Structure 1
C-alpha cells in the first residue's frame, strides 16, 4: 500500500468509532424506553436527553468537533503528498486518543481523565496541522 493512501486507515478507524458511538447511543436510548426511564417523545427535542443516554449523546457530539479538523488535515496531507511515517504515527495516536476519550466518556465519565485525553488529542491534531504547514512551506 502506498504511504500516501495509508493516511486513510486512521480516518476509517475514526469513522468506525463514530458509528460505534451511534450504535451505543441507539442501544441506550432503546433500553431507556424499554425500562420506562424515558419516553420516545423525550428524544423529539435534542436539548432533552435522558440520563441513560446523555453521556453517549455528548460523546457523539464531540466526534464532530476536533475530529473534523483531523479529517480535513488527512485529506489535505494526502492531496499535497505530505504523508510520511511521522504523520501516520501522529494520526494513529490521535485516533487512539479519541477512542480512549470516548471510552471514558461513555463509561466512568471521569472528567480529569477525559480532559487529559482531550488535551493529548488536541496537541496531536495541532501537530498534524503544523506538519502540514511545514510541508506546504517546503521546509
Structure 2
C-alpha cells in the first residue's frame, strides 16, 4: 500500500478516534450520574435536559461527529478506490480532521458559538474543496 494511501487512512482513523474519545468522555459524564440515582432514567429517555451542561455539550459534540464527518469518510473511501491518492488529498484530509478536533474542543469546553461556527465553517470549506478536487480527479482529469 502506498504511503499516501496509508496517510489518508490515518486521517480517517484519527476522525474515528475523535468520535470514540468523545463517546467515552460522554459516558464518563452520564453513566455514573444515572447509576448513583442523580438522574432519573425516565428524565433522559427522550431528551437530554436532565443531564448537566458538560454531558449535554459532549452529547451534542458526539452527534455532530455524524454530520460532516460522514461525507469525509465517503470521500476518503472513494479516493482510495478511484484515484491514486496524492498529497493534496492528504493535506485536505488532515486539515479537515484538525479542524474537527478544534471544533470538538471548543464545543466541549468554552462552547463559544462564534469560534465554534468558524471552526465548523472552515472544516466545511476544506471538505468542499476535498470533494471538488476528488470530483475533478475522477471525472475530468486526463489519465485517471
Give me the TM-score of the superposition, normalised by structure 2.
0.87
Structure 1 CA distance, aligned partners of 2:123 and 2:80?
A: 20
Query: 3-state SS of the aligned residue for 1:7?
Result: helix
Moved over 6 A (4+): none
Tell me if 1:98 matches 2:100. Answer: yes
Aligned pairs, how many? 137
Check whether the contact 1:73–1:129 (CA below 8 A) recurs between aligned residues: yes
Check whether the contact 1:5–1:78 (CA below 8 A) recurs between aligned residues: no
Query: 3-state SS of the aligned residue for 2:73?
Result: helix
Task: Quote the residue 2:121 is aligned against.
Answer: 119
Task: Quote the residue 1:138 is aligned against.
Answer: 141
Q: Residues 51-108 of structure 1, C-alpha deviation per residue, up to 9 Å, x if partnerless?
A: 3311111111110000000000000011012411111011001000000100110111
Task: Quote the residue 2:71 is aligned against.
Answer: 69
Task: Quote the residue 2:88 is aligned against.
Answer: 86
Structure 2 CA distance, aligned partners of 1:126 and 1:117?
A: 14
Give me the TM-score of the superposition, normalised by structure 1.
0.90
* Structure 2 portions without partners, runs of 5+: none
Structure 1 CA distance, aligned partners of 2:9 and 2:120?
A: 22
Structure 2 CA distance, aligned partners of 1:115 and 1:73?
A: 22
Residue 112 of structure 1 deviates from its aligned partner by 0.8
Structure 1 CA distance, aligned partners of 2:89 and 2:141?
A: 16
Task: Quote the residue 1:16 is aligned against.
Answer: 17
Query: 3-state SS of the aligned residue for 1:132?
Result: helix
* Structure 1 portions without partners, runs of 5+: none
Structure 2 CA distance, aligned partners of 1:48 and 1:4?
A: 40
